[in-house]
Amino acid sequence: MSLQPDPRGAPLGAPDSSRESRDRAWVEGIRTGDVPAFEAMFRAYKNDLGAFVTSWVHSREAAEEVIQDLFLHLWEQRHEWQLAVPLNIYLFRAARNRAIDHLRHQRVETEFQQRIARRHDEGFEPRPPLRGDEAAQAAELEDAIERAVSALPPRCQEVFRLSRYHHLSYAEVAQVMQISTKTVEVQMGRALTNLRRRLAAWRD
C-alpha cells in the first residue's frame, strides 16, 4: 500500500491509519527539508493548534507568536527531529508547553486566574432560548455552549476542548496533558454534569 499524503490534508477526524500515514510522510519529508510537507502540516494543524493555544493565552497575537515560534523551532531542528509519539500528540503537547511558558513570561497568569475566579463568582446563568427560526436558534445554542464551556474550571475545560473540539481520544488527551486516562474520564464526567446543568434551559 503506497503512502500518498493527501495534499489537501485529511480532516483530523478521519480514520487513524490514513491520518497517521499522512503524518508520517510529512515528518519524513520535513526531516529532509521538504518545505511543501512543512507547509501542508502547518495548514492541516493550524486551526486546531490556533484555537487550543488561544484558549490558553487569550489573545490572537500571542497565539500567533507561540505558534510561529513552535513551527520555526521545529524547522530549525528538523534534522534532529525524533518523534516518540504520534505527530498530533507531539504538536498539541509542544503547543501546550509553549503556551504555558508564554503565560509565565508575560505574567498574564495572575490575570488569567483572576478571570477564572471572576467567572466562578459570576454564577453563570444562561438566558433561556428565544423562540425564533431554526438557524437563529442553532447559532444561539452554539454561542450558549461556548460560553458554558468557557465557564468550566480550567483543567476540566482543557480536557473537554481537547476531546470535543480537537477530536482527540481520551488516551490522546491523557498523553497531551500528561495525566491518566482515568483523570480524563472523571473530568469529562464533570463536564457533562456541569454543562447539562447550565444548559438545562435549552432542552426542548
Partner 1 sequence: MDRRDDIDSLTLARYLSGELGPTEAAEVERWIAADPAHRELADSLRKIWSPGALPEFDPDDVLWRRIAAGVERPLPKPALVESRQTRAWPFRAPARLLTAAAAAAVLVVGGAVLLAKLRQPAAPVPMREVATRLGQRAALDLPDGSRVVLAPGSRVRFPTSFSARGPSTSRELFLEGQAYFTVRHDDKRPFRVHTSMALVEDVGTEFVVTAQTETHGTQVVVVSGAVALRRASAATSPPLLTLTRGDLARLDSSGIAILTRDVNLAPYVAWTEGSLVFDGTPLREVAPALARWYDLDVRVTDSGLAARKFTASFHYEPISQVLEVVARSLDARVERHGRSVVFAPRRPQPARVDSQ
Residues that bind partner 1 (CB under 8 A): 35, 38-39, 42-43, 46-51, 63-64, 67-68, 71-72, 75-76, 141-142, 145-146, 148-149, 163-165, 169-170, 185-186, 188-193, 195-196, 199, 202-204
- Nearest distance in Å: CB 32, partner 1: 14
> Toward partner 1, which CB reaches closer, 3 or 109?
109
16-31 and 87-106 helices, crossing angle to 10°: 70
Q: Cell 459570576 identifies what position?
A: 122
Closer CB to partner 1, 10 or 186, in the complex: 186
Query: Of 171, 166, 160, which is closest to residue 198 (Cα–Cα)?
Result: 160
DSSP of 33-60: T-HHHHHHHHHHHHHHHHHHHHHHH--H
For the bound state, the minimum distance from the C-beta of residue 135 to partner 1, rounded and expressed in Å, comes to 13
Q: Minimum CB separation from partner 1 for residue 200, in Å?
A: 9
Q: Which is nearer to partner 1, 100 or 188 (CB)?
A: 188
Residue 48 or 158 having the CB closest to partner 1: 48
Is the separation of the CB atoms in 45 and 88 below 8 Å? yes
Question: Among residues 179 and 188, whose Cβ is nearest to partner 1?
Answer: 188
Q: How far apart are CA 112 and CA 116, in angstroms?
A: 6
d(CA 171, CA 173): 5
Helix axes 87-106, 35-57, angle to 10 degrees: 50
Rounded least distance, CB 173 to partner 1, Å: 10
* Closest separation in Å from C-beta 144 to partner 1: 9
In whole angstroms, give the CA distance from residue 134 to residue 113: 37
Q: Which C-beta is closer to partner 1: that of 68 or that of 114?
A: 68
Q: How far is the CB of 44 from partner 1 (least distance, A)?
A: 12
> For residue 99, how many C-alpha atoms fall within 13 Å in the half-sphere facing its CB?
25
Using an 8 Å Cβ cutoff, are 152 and 191 in contact? yes
How many CB atoms within 10 Å of residue 78? 16
